[in-house]
Amino acid sequence: MTSLTLYLLLAALIFAAGLALAVTRRNAILVLAGVELMLNAANLNFLAFWRFGQHPEALIGFLFVMFSIAIAAAEAAIGLALILAVFRQSHTINIDQIEQLKG
């Protein structure tokens, strides 16, 4: 078992944890948090492949993670603003109760 495999397994575990968080919780904020956790796990994969890859000096995985973090920040800001807007509209953020669009 190499270090790379260890990192990948850890990332897989965190990804699964993020998935569990996103699936089990009914609170929209925690669903978003689970998505963030999964994103981070993916970042960890990129970074591990960069580190143990053939050309770390090309910085490909590194820069990918950097852009990913920036995009995740934007995503979190927009997502939370959306949650706030929804909360103001329907006074709940339980995703089971937000069903106005149900036909």
Partner 1 sequence: MNLSFLIPAIILLVGAAAANTLRNLVHCVLALTLAFAGFALLYFGLGAEFLGLVQLLVYVGAVAILIAFTVLLTGGGTAGEQTVLSPRWLQGFLLAGAMFLLLGYGISKSRFTAHAATSVRSYPVSLIGDALITSYALPLEMLGVLLTVATIGGVVLAIREPRQASQSVKVDQ
Which C-beta is closer to partner 1: that of 64 or that of 103? 64
Give min distance, CB of 45 to partner 1, in A.
10
Residue with tokens 């590194």: 62
State the residues that interact with partner 1 by CB under 8 A: 2-10, 12-21, 23-27, 29-30, 32-33, 36-37, 40, 43-44, 47-48, 50-54, 56-57, 59, 62-63, 65-67, 69-78, 80-85, 87-88, 93
Angstrom distance (rounded) from CA 90 to CA 18: 27
Closest CB 98 distance from partner 1, rounded Å: 12
- Least Å distance, CB 103 to partner 1, is 24
Closest to 37 (Cα-Cα) out of 75, 94, 2: 75
Q: Which residues of 41-60 are buried (b: 16+ CB within 10 A; e: fewer)?
A: bbbbbbbbbbeeeeeeeeee
Tokens 């580190």 belong to: 51
Indicate the residue among 23 and 101 with the shorter CB distance to partner 1. 23
Q: Which is nearer to partner 1, 2 or 100 (CB)?
A: 2
